[in-house]
């Protein structure tokens, strides 16, 4: 039910009172929030811990190239996840590219289209064809049957994505990979801190790739890593991220520059100390959204399995045909109120370039992807968002979406 006198935060002016649609910014009223509420506002929770480590970086006079903080960061991430190796990188996309190359993927690799475009680009960028397989609309993750349908003689691998930090069907994908002699790795960009059957994500497939981008629950400003139990693979990736150098003047492998800098490791170490706090805020926010949007016909909020760990970093609402407002009407109304809700990952990678021109008929095999892409709204969460803000955001949605 709509709170008939929902009020919103608008510093410097009287709080906006929302009683009817006339009070909405799309109808000419002032916006509810003076400052934009973002999806992906960085969590900055341990400023003192970060600044103290930045001092350490400057005192060390060692800024990059496998410095002491990066080494400490790698040790702590590996320990946190229970993997043998963490190879820290400058971002998740370079980490994907290096992992793909180190695994020897070539020809065609099966990926979801329902992901951030970096998953596909990291293949295409190195001359490998991303082949898009459809998802299970209930989980938003690759559907194993759809993966099977896309295998050809040119297929060399599968990249599963743990979308929203919820595990891809790891066992089924491993079985398919084993049956067809394919390499399997995971894009775990959303899944730092998640578990699958109680086991940390980071421990599945040949390796898993993490992103620590500013907009992630756990961030190093820019950053990423490949985690693996495979000693040889880890060694190859360490060479690849540093031009192939093994010691001074000795290049033994083709490589690039994928190194994480010390300041990013400083941010990561500080945030790791406070990661539980971030998760607690996200859990609280997710529950607040679920509660405040409950019972609106045609609107649901994606759940996280209560027996698994998840950072609850993405609040994913789905708007279906049973809702009196369309997804795009709700997004437009929220933007007018300075709530920058997003449509991640609409319209799907297969409808972005160069894939739209290269594979104009890919959508025929991606029915679920298309339907889900037209339904999602990602709502702001993280430490910058309070339960009061969520109450106000949801009051606006309810006003638009509840039948008169």
Does 261 engage in binding with ligand T4K (CB under 6 A)?
no
Does 214 engage in binding with ligand T4K (CB under 6 A)?
yes
Closer residue to ligand T4K in complex, CB, 216/398: 216
**Going edge to edge, which strands form the sheet with 315-319?**
299-301, 315-319, 376-379
Name the minimum Å distance from CB 179 to ligand T4K. 26
Helices (H) and strands (E) in the chain, counts: 13, 16
Does 139 engage in binding with ligand T4K (CB under 6 A)?
no
Q: Which stretch binds ligand T4K (CB under 6 A): 126-134, 172-180, 209-217, 299-307?
A: 209-217
Looking at beta carbons, which residue is closest to ligand T4K? 92
Closer residue to ligand T4K in complex, CB, 83/88: 88
Distance separating alpha carbons of residues 153 and 319, to the nearest angstrom? 39
Among 7, 9, 41, 391, binds ligand T4K (CB under 6 A): 41
- DSSP E strand stretches across 2-144: 6-8, 16-18, 37-38, 85-89, 108-112, 129-133
Distance separating alpha carbons of residues 31 and 392, to the nearest angstrom? 12
Q: Which stretch binds ligand T4K (CB under 6 A): 67-75, 191-199, 208-216, 295-303?
A: 208-216
Does 268 engage in binding with ligand T4K (CB under 6 A)?
no
Helical ranges in 153-199 per DSSP H: 170-180
Distance separating alpha carbons of residues 299 and 142, to the nearest angstrom? 23
- Name the DSSP class of 157: E
Closer residue to ligand T4K in complex, CB, 344/355: 344
Among 211, 310, 338, 369, binds ligand T4K (CB under 6 A): 211
Residues 330-369 touching ligand T4K, rule: CB under 6 A, are 340, 344
Give the per-residue contact string, 168-187, with ligand T4K (x = CB under 6 A; - = no): -------------------x
Asked if 33 and 41 touch (Cβ cutoff 8 Å), the reply is no
Does 213 engage in binding with ligand T4K (CB under 6 A)?
yes
Among 31, 40, 130, 348, binds ligand T4K (CB under 6 A): 40
Q: Which residue has the tokens 């805020």?
A: 281
Does 205 engage in binding with ligand T4K (CB under 6 A)?
no
Q: Which stretch binds ligand T4K (CB under 6 A): 85-93, 196-204, 288-296, 305-313?
A: 85-93
Among 109, 118, 177, 301, binds ligand T4K (CB under 6 A): 118
Asked if 365 and 149 touch (Cβ cutoff 8 Å), the reply is yes
Does 161 engage in binding with ligand T4K (CB under 6 A)?
yes
Q: Which stretch binds ligand T4K (CB under 6 A): 9-17, 27-35, 113-121, 178-186?
A: 113-121
The DSSP annotation for 291-325 comes to: HHHTT-TTEEE----TTS------EEEEE-TTSSS
Helical ranges in 230-349 per DSSP H: 231-240, 262-273, 275-293, 327-336
Name the minimum Å distance from CB 59 to ligand T4K. 27
Residue 69 in 3-state DSSP? helix
Closer residue to ligand T4K in complex, CB, 118/323: 118
Among 43, 119, 194, 271, binds ligand T4K (CB under 6 A): 119
Distance separating alpha carbons of residues 160 and 28, to the nearest angstrom? 45
Length of the chain: 404
Does 38 engage in binding with ligand T4K (CB under 6 A)?
yes
Name the minimum Å distance from CB 80 to ligand T4K. 18
- Nearest CA to 24 out of 327, 378, 379, 338 is that of 338
What does DSSP say about strands 339-340 and 16-18: parallel, antiparallel, or unpaired? unpaired
């Amino acid at each position: 039910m709509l709170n008939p006198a929902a009020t919103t935060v608008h510093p410097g002016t009287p709080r906006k009172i929302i009683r009817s649609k006339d009070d909405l910014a799309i109808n000419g009223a002032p916006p509810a929030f003076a400052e934009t509420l973002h999806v992906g506002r960085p969590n900055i929770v341990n400023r003192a811990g970060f600044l103290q480590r930045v001092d350490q970086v400057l005192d060390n006079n060692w800024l990059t190239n496998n410095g002491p903080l990066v080494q400490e960061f790698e040790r702590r991430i590996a320990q946190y996840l229970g993997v043998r190796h963490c190879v820290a990188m400058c971002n998740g996309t370079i980490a994907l590219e290096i992992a793909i190359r180190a695994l020897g993927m070539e020809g065609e690799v099966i990926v979801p289209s329902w992901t951030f475009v970096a998953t596909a680009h990291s293949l295409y960028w190195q001359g490998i064809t991303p082949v898009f397989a459809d998802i299970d609309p209930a989980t938003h993750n690759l559907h194993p049957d759809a993966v099977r349908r896309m295998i050809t003689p040119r297929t060399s691998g599968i990249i599963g994505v743990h979308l929203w930090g919820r595990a891809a069907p790891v066992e089924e994908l491993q079985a398919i990979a084993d049956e067809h002699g394919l390499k399997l790795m995971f894009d775990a960009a959303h899944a730092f801190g998640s578990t699958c059957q109680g086991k940390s994500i980071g421990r599945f497939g040949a390796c898993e790739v993490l992103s620590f981008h500013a907009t992630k629950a756990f961030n190093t400003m820019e950053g990423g890593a490949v985690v693996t139990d495979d000693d040889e693979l880890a060694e190859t990736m360490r060479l690849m991220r540093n031009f192939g150098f093994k010691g001074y003047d000795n290049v033994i492998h083709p490589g690039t520059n994928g190194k994480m800098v010390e300041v990013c490791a400083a941010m990561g170490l500080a945030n790791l100390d406070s990661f539980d706090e971030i998760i607690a805020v996200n859990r609280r926010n997710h529950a607040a959204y679920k509660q405040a949007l409950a019972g609106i016909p045609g609107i649901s909020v994606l759940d996280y399995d209560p027996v698994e760990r998840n950072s609850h970093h993405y609040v994913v609402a789905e708007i279906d045909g049973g809702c009196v407002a369309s997804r795009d009407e709700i997004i437009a109304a929220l933007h007018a109120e300075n709530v920058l809700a997003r449509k991640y990952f609409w319209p799907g990678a297969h409808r972005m370039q160069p894939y739209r021109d290269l594979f104009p008929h890919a959508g025929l095999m991606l029915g679920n992807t298309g339907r889900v892409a037209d339904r999602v709204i990602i709502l702001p969460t993280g430490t910058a968002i309070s339960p009061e803000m969520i109450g106000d955001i949801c009051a606006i949605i309810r006003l638009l979406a509840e039948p008169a």
